[in-house]
Chain A
Amino acid sequence: MKKSTKKNQWQSYNLPNHLGYFGEYGGQFVAETLMPALNELEAAYKKIRSDSHFKKEFKRLLKDYVGRPSPLYEAARLSQKLGHRIFLKREDLNHTGAHKVNNTLGQILLALKMGKKRIIAETGAGQHGVATATMCARFGLSCEVYMGAEDVQRQAPNVFRMKLLGAKVIAVHSGTATLKDAMNEALRDWISNVSNTYYCIGTVAGPHPYPMMVRDFQKIIGEETKQQILKSMNRLPDYVMACVGGGSNAMGMFYPFIKDTQVKLMGVEAAGYGIRSGKHAAAIVGGRLGVLHGQKSYLLQDAEGQIIPTHSISAGLDYPGVGPELSYLADQGRVQIVSATDKEALEGFEMLSHLEGIIPALESSHSLGYLKKYAKKLKKNSVIVLNLSGRGDKDLNTVAKLQKISL
Chain B
Amino acid sequence: MNRIEQKFKLLKEKNQKALVTFISAGDPDLKTTEELIYSLDQNGVDIVELGMPFSDPMADGPVIQRSSQRALQSGTNLNKIFTTVAHVRKKTQIPILLMGYYNPILQYGEEKFFKKCASVGVDGALIVDLPPQEGKRVKEIAQVNGCSLIFLLAPTSDPERIKLVCKNASGFIYYVSLTGITGAKLQSDLQKQSALKLLKKTTQLPVCIGFGIKTAEQAKKTSQLGDGVVIGSALIEMIEKHQGKKAPQEISTWIKKIAKAVH
**B59: Cβ under 8 A from any A Cβ:** yes
Q: What are 17 A-to-B residue pairs whose CB atoms are below 8 Å?
A: A27-B134, A28-B131, A32-B151, A32-B165, A33-B156, A35-B161, A36-B161, A37-B156, A39-B158, A174-B65, A191-B181, A291-B106, A301-B103, A303-B107, A304-B77, A305-B54, A305-B107
Closest chain-A Cβ to B179's Cβ sits at a distance in Å of 6
B72 at the interface (CB under 8 A from A): yes
Contact at B130–A191, with CB atoms within 8 Å? no
Bound: A175/B179 CA distance, A: 24
Selected from B77, B103, B156, the residue in CB contact (under 8 A) with A292 is B103
> Which residues B126-176 have CB closer than 8 A to chain A?
128-131, 133-134, 151-154, 156-158, 161, 165, 176
- Chain A residues lying within 8 Å of B103, measured Cβ to Cβ, are 290-292, 299, 301, 305, 307
Known A29-B129, A188-B61, A305-B104; contact A194-B55, beta-carbon cutoff 8 A: no
Interface membership of A294, Cβ < 8 A: yes
Cα distance A37–B155 when bound, in Å? 12
Q: Chain B contacts of A195 at CB under 8 A?
A: 156, 179
**B128 contacts A36, C-beta separation under 8 Å:** no
Q: DSSP majority for the A interface?
A: mixed
* Interface size band for B: 35 or more
Q: Cβ of A293: which chain B residues have Cβ within 8 Å of it?
A: 56, 58
Q: Which of B17-52 contact A (CB under 8 A)?
A: none
For the complex, is A84 an interface residue (Cβ under 8 Å from B)? Answer: no
B186 at the A/B interface (Cβ < 8 Å)?
no
Q: Which residues of B lie under 8 Å from residue A32 when comparing CB positions?
A: 131, 151-154, 157, 161, 165, 176
Contacts of A191 in B (CB 8 A): 58-59, 179-181
- Is B133 in contact with A19, judged by CB distance below 8 angstroms? yes
Q: Does B184 contact A (CB under 8 A)?
A: yes
A34 to B154, alpha carbons, bound, how many Å?
Answer: 9
Whether, in the assembled complex, B82 has its beta carbon less than 8 Å from a beta carbon of chain A, the answer is no
Other 10 A-B pairs with CB < 8 A, given A174-B65, A191-B180: A28-B134, A30-B129, A31-B58, A32-B152, A32-B153, A33-B152, A291-B102, A301-B103, A306-B104, A307-B56
Q: B78 interface residue, CB < 8 Å from A?
A: yes
Of A36, A39, A181, A194, most B-chain CB atoms within 10 Å: A36
Interface centre among B62, B106, B107 (most CB of A within 10 A): B107
Is A187 engaged at the interface, CB distance under 8 Å to the other chain? yes
Top 9 nearest A-B pairs (CB, nearest first) are A305-B107, A305-B104, A33-B154, A192-B180, A31-B59, A32-B152, A306-B55, A305-B103, A29-B129
**Number of A residues whose C-beta is below 8 Å from B?**
38
Within 8 A of A (CB), among B91-134: 101-108, 128-131, 133-134
A219 within 8 A of B: no
Q: Report the separation of the CA atoms of residues A25 and B53 in the bound assembly, to the nearest whole angstrom.
A: 24
* Set of chain A residues within 8 Å of B54, measured between Cβ atoms: 305-306
Tell me the minimal C-beta distance from B184 to chain A in angstroms.
7
Q: Name the distance in Å between A404's Cβ and chain B's nearest Cβ.
A: 34
Question: B residues within 8 A CB of A192?
Answer: 179-181, 184
Report B175-191 residues with CB < 8 Å from chain A CB: 176, 179-181, 184
Q: Which of B212-251 contact A (CB under 8 A)?
A: none
A184 within 8 Å of B (CB atoms): yes
Q: Would B55 and A290 count as touching, CB distance under 8 A?
A: no
Q: How far does the alpha carbon of A181 sit from the alpha carbon of B184 in the complex, in Å?
A: 19
Q: Name the residue among B65, B102, B156, B181 with the largest chain A CB count within 10 angstroms.
A: B156
A289 contact set on B, CB distance < 8 A:
106
Q: With a CB–CB cut-off of 8 A, which chain A residues contact B59?
A: 31, 33, 187-188, 191
Minimum Cβ distance to chain B for residue A8 (Å):
30
Cβ of A148 to closest chain B Cβ, rounded Å:
13
A180 sits at the interface (CB 8 A): yes
**A140-B194 Cα distance, complex, nearest whole Å:** 33
Contact B133 A194 (CB under 8 A): no
Q: Quote the shortest CB–CB distance from B52 to chain A (angstroms).
A: 10
- B54, B104, B131, B181 interface centre (most CB from chain A within 10 Å): B131
CA distance A35 to B106 in the complex (A): 21
